[in-house]
């Protein structure tokens, strides 16, 4: 890899490098990118004929637009760093690279090189040494990555804001946050311990916070993405909003487990039998579900908009003050309320999200009748749900 040019992007406070490399070098580099980030393994199947044409063009020596990468590391490049130092930094941290623009081109290059390696092609060596231009943003933060992903992909197949957020926060899967473990669907694990959550569910909760919407819709409209990005830019000034959101939610879950006093749902002694399966059978299982997380996210977003809180961290002290009169009675009542929703709901998951949206708004808004009371918030939330759906 040879650095051909350097420019500083003041908008996102990051150094942009224009690098000349070869198809063979990029093939090796891209393997690490795709293997380390499962959220970038997706291909656009509908464009297979277009990329088949591009593969033939690459064989013939076609010059394609630069592929754009981002390297999010804490240390900013120093002014006196040489080109060799910068290339070395990229190679040392290549597992942290993210493709901002050119994912489908990357797959096409990989297909071509794999074909060349499988067959005895007399042009193999010449093709592998063909030049390729790559841009790399070094020292870019997560908000900068989101901004560049959005601006670089406006004329292509839109990527939902949730998918973008999945990509940039995927490093937390390996490292965790303050004792919190994020599990992926690929792992096949189910959250069974305090502090364990499905990464996808937390992303949905966080996206609901940004969108102020409890519904988990994969928005791919550019304007919707810009609105989400603007909220993130406004609230993410000097802190990591995603990390803040997750830590606060985990604190709430731990509080609920503590005040539930080991409650287990007992259907045998119920006077009123359930219509379907219980929503969950203990506090951990209740609050590990995506319906609760999206309700939590959208409710906190609305409370920010209403001026009731400034950010998710504002409810930390409020969580400590939460009360429950009788854990067994209250949490059993919660399960019964959720079972009642099953009777009238057209889409059960969406209606459950709506209920929890009202529940958390009641719980953390000092002007509400349910403020800091689990018991009253359940009652108030169900009444609001009924008024909304009738």
- The rounded mean pLDDT for the chain is 86
Neighbours of 116 (CB within 10 A): 19
Q: Per-residue pLDDT tens for 170-186?
A: 778 777 888 899 988 76
**Cα separations in angstroms, 258 against 110, 251, 262, 263, 281:** 51, 11, 8, 10, 15
Task: Give the model's pLDDT for residue 98.
Answer: 87
Give the residue with greater pLDDT, 381 vs 218: 381
- Which one, of 171, 163, 161, 162, lies nearest residue 141 by Cα? 171
Q: Per-residue pLDDT tens for 221-251?
A: 545 555 665 566 556 555 678 899 999 999 9
Q: Which two tokens stand for residue 203?
A: 């992303």
Residue 340: pLDDT over 60: yes
Overall average pLDDT of the 120-145 stretch: 87
pLDDT cut 90: percent of the chain above it: 52
Task: Give the model's pLDDT for residue 43.
Answer: 58
Residue 48: pLDDT over 80: no
Overall average pLDDT of the 155-166 stretch: 62
Q: Per-residue pLDDT tens for 365-377?
A: 999 999 999 999 9
Q: Spell 315-343 as b/e; 16+ CB within 10 A means b.
A: beebbeebebeebeebbbbbbbbbbbbee
Task: Give the model's pLDDT for residue 109.
Answer: 93
Q: How would you classify the pairing of strands 14-22 and 2-9?
A: antiparallel
Overall average pLDDT of the 366-389 stretch: 96
Give the residue with greater pLDDT, 215 vs 257: 257
**Cα separations in angstroms, 27 against 108, 117, 324:** 10, 12, 58
Q: Per-residue pLDDT tens for 86-110?
A: 999 999 988 888 888 888 899 999 9
- Tell me the C-alpha distance between 381 and 383, whole Å: 5
Per-domain residue ranges of the chain:
2-152, 162-389
Local confidence band at 218 (pLDDT 50, 70, 90 cut-offs): low
């Amino acid at each position: 890899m040879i650095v051909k040019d350097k420019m500083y992007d003041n908008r996102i406070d990051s150094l942009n490098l224009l690098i000349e490399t070869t198809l063979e070098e990029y093939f090796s580099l891209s393997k690490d990118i795709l293997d380390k980030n499962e959220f970038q393994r997706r291909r656009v199947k509908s464009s297979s004929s277009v990329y088949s044409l591009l593969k033939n063009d690459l064989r013939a020596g076609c010059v394609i637009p630069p592929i754009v990468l981002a390297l999010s590391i804490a240390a900013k490049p120093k002014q006196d760093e040489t080109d060799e130092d910068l290339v070395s930094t990229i190679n040392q941290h290549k597992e942290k690279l993210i493709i901002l623009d050119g994912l489908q081109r990357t797959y096409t290059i990989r297909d071509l090189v794999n074909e060349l390696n499988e067959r005895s092609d007399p042009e193999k060596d010449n093709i592998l040494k063909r030049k390729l231009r790559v841009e790399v943003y070094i020292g870019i933060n997560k908000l900068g990555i989101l901004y560049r992903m959005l601006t670089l992909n406006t004329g292509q197949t839109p990527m939902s804001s949730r998918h973008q957020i999945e990509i940039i926060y995927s490093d937390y899967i390996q490292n965790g946050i303050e004792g919190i473990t994020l599990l992926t669907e690929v792992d096949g694990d189910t959250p069974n311990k305090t502090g364990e959550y499905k990464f996808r569910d937390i992303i949905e909760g966080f996206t609901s916070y940004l969108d102020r919407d409890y519904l988990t819709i994969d928005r791919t409209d550019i304007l919707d993405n810009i609105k989400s990005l603007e909220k993130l830019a406004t609230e993410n000034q000097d802190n990591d909003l995603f990390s803040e959101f997750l830590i606060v939610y985990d604190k709430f879950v731990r509080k609920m487990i503590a005040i539930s006093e080991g409650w287990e749902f007992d259907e045998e002694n119920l006077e009123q039998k359930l219509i379907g399966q219980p929503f969950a059978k203990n506090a951990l299982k209740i609050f590990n579900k995506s319906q609760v997380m999206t309700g939590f996210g959208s409710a906190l977003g609305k409370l920010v908009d209403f001026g009731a809180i400034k950010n998710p961290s504002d409810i930390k002290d409020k969580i400590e003050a939460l009360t429950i009169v009788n854990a067994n009675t209250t949490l059993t009542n919660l399960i019964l309320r959720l079972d009642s929703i099953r009777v009238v709901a057209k889409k059960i998951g969406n209606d459950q999200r709506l209920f929890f949206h009202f529940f958390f708004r009641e719980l953390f808004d000092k002007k509400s009748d349910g403020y800091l009371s689990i018991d009253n918030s359940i009652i108030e939330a169900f009444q609001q749900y009924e008024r909304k759906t009738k």
